[in-house]
Amino acid sequence: MDVNAAVAAAAAIAGVLTGVIAMLAFRWSERDQKRPTRTSLHTDPVLPPGVDTVLSVLRSSAVVLDEADAVVKASSAAYALGLVRGGKLSVEPMLQMARDTRRDGEIRQVELDLPRRGTGRGEALAVSARVAPLGSRLVLLLVEDLTEARRIEAVRRDFVANVSHELKTPVGALSLLSEAVMDASDDPEAVQRFAGRMQIEATRLTNLVQELIDLSRVQNDDPLEDAEPVRVDELVAEAVDRCRHQAGAKQIIMAAGGTADLHVWGNRGQLAAALGNLVENAVNYSPARTRVGIAARRVVAPGGDMIELAVTDQGIGISDKDKERIFERFYRVDPARSRATGGTGLGLAIVKHVVASHGGEVTVWSAEGQGSTFTLRLPEAGVARDRALHHPDLDEEDGGPTDTSPYEPLPAPEVLP
C-alpha cells in the first residue's frame, strides 16, 4: 500500500515537472519567434509608412539614403538622370549635402550643372537639389530638372532683346528725321526728302508691330477652333495680289498652277498669311525681271492625302549654314538686304508656327545663286477635319526645315524679255 502511494506521488511530481518544462519551452519558442533575425531585418521595409506612396507620385526625382549613404529608394527619374549608379548616389555635391543634413538636421538646397551622360553632347543638365531629413536615420533628396525652364528663359530673353533692338532702329530714325525736318524748315526740298524717309521708317515700324502681333496670335490661339475648308486657289490668288505691286515694280513674273479643286482644312487668315509671307520673300529676294512660281498638288501619305504648296524663286539662295536657322525669330540671311526690303525676320517664324499648328510641315530646298523652293505640306480638308474631330488635342510639332523639295527648281536667274 505504501509502495503504491509512493509510486503515485512520484508520477504526480514527474507530471508537474513535465508541464513546467513544456510551458517554459513554449515561452522560449514565442520569444525566439518575436526576436528579429538577420533575414527579417533585411526584408522588412525601412521607409516610414506612406512615404513610398508619396515618392511615387512626385514629379521630382527622389532618392532616399540611409546612414551608410546607401540608396534605400530611388525613383525611375533619378536613374534616368544618372543620379544613382550601383546602389550609390553618384553626384558628389549632393552626397555631401546629404551627409551634412544627416549631421545637423538642416534642410539644404542648391542648383547644379551636371554633365549629360551617354548623349555625346557637351551641354550641361541644370538641376535644383533639395535635401531634408526623413525620420532619425534616413535622408530624402529631391532633384528637379531645370534644363527646359532655363532654355525657355533664354529664348524669352533673346526675344525681348531682339524686339527692343528692332523697335529702337526705326524709332531712333524717326527721331533724327524729325529733327532734320525742323532744322530744314526753310528748305522745301529737304523737308520733302526727310518726310519720305520718315514714311519709310514708319511703315517698317508698323510692319514690325503687326508681325509681332501675328506671331503672338498664332502661338497662343488654336487655329482649328474656327477651321473651315479653304480653297487653295483662293489662297494663292490672295498671296499674288498681296505682292503684285512689288513684283510689278521689279518686273517679276508670278506664275501659279495646279491649284484647282484642292482644299485644306484650317484657319483661312493664318494660312493666307503664311503663304503670303513666302511669296513676299520670294519677290523681295529675287533679282529684277525674273520669275516666281507657285505650284500645288495632292500627294498620297500614310495618314491620308496631303496638299503641297511650293513657292519657287530665282533669288540669291540660302547657304547650308543659314538653312538651319532661317525659321528662327529675327534671323536674317542678309541683314543689310533685309533692312533695304523692309524685312523684320519674323515672316518665316510665323510660317513655321502656322503650318505646325495645322498639323503640317515646311521644307526648303535652296542653293546659293540658284534660288529657293519653300514647300508647305498640309493635310487635305477631309483628312484634317476627321483628324481634328477624333484628336482635338494634338500637340504642335515644331520641327526645323529639311533640305528637300519634290519640285524642280526654276532655271538659274536670267533676264526675262
- What's the CATH code of the domain at 189? 1.10.287.130
Q: Within this chain, do residues 319 and 353 fall inside the same structural domain, yes or no?
A: yes
Q: Within this chain, do residues 286 and 407 fall inside the same structural domain, yes or no?
A: yes
Residue type, 381: A
Of 115, 145, 175, which residue sits at a domain end? Answer: 145
Which CATH number goes with the domain that contains 62? 3.30.450.20
Whether residue 3 is contained in a domain is answered as no
Q: Within this chain, do residues 314 and 360 fall inside the same structural domain, yes or no?
A: yes
Q: Within this chain, do residues 192 and 116 fall inside the same structural domain, yes or no?
A: no
Residue type, 275: L
Of 94, 124, 145, which residue sits at a domain end? Answer: 145
Whether residue 61 is contained in a domain is answered as yes
Q: Read off the pTM.
A: 0.55
Whether residue 238 is contained in a domain is answered as yes
Of 129, 145, 161, which residue sits at a domain end? Answer: 145
* Predicted local confidence at residue 174, as pLDDT: 87
Whether residue 42 is contained in a domain is answered as no
Cα(65)–Cα(63) distance, integer angstroms: 7
Q: Within this chain, do residues 265 and 180 fall inside the same structural domain, yes or no?
A: no
Which CATH number goes with the domain that contains 362? 3.30.565.10
Q: Within this chain, do residues 409 and 350 fall inside the same structural domain, yes or no?
A: yes
Whether residue 199 is contained in a domain is answered as yes
Whether residue 296 is contained in a domain is answered as yes
Cα(13)–Cα(25) distance, integer angstroms: 18
Q: What is the mean pLDDT of each run of 10 residues along the chain (417 residues)?
A: 57 58 53 43 54 74 89 86 86 90 90 71 78 87 88 77 77 88 87 89 82 73 76 92 90 86 89 91 90 92 87 88 81 59 73 89 90 92 55 41 51 42
At 316, phi and psi to the nearest 5? Answer: -75, -15
Q: Within this chain, do residues 186 and 244 fall inside the same structural domain, yes or no?
A: no
In the structure grid, which three cell numbers stand for residue 290, read together? Answer: 525674273
Q: Within this chain, do residues 335 and 231 fall inside the same structural domain, yes or no?
A: yes
Q: Within this chain, do residues 124 and 167 fall inside the same structural domain, yes or no?
A: no
Q: Within this chain, do residues 123 and 250 fall inside the same structural domain, yes or no?
A: no
Q: Within this chain, do residues 293 and 358 fall inside the same structural domain, yes or no?
A: yes
Whether residue 18 is contained in a domain is answered as no
Q: Within this chain, do residues 375 and 282 fall inside the same structural domain, yes or no?
A: yes
335: containing domain: 223-417
Nearest by Cα to 410 from 320, 293, 297: 293
Q: Is there a contact between 294 and 311 (Cβ–Cβ < 8 Å)?
A: yes
**Structural domains in the chain (count):** 3
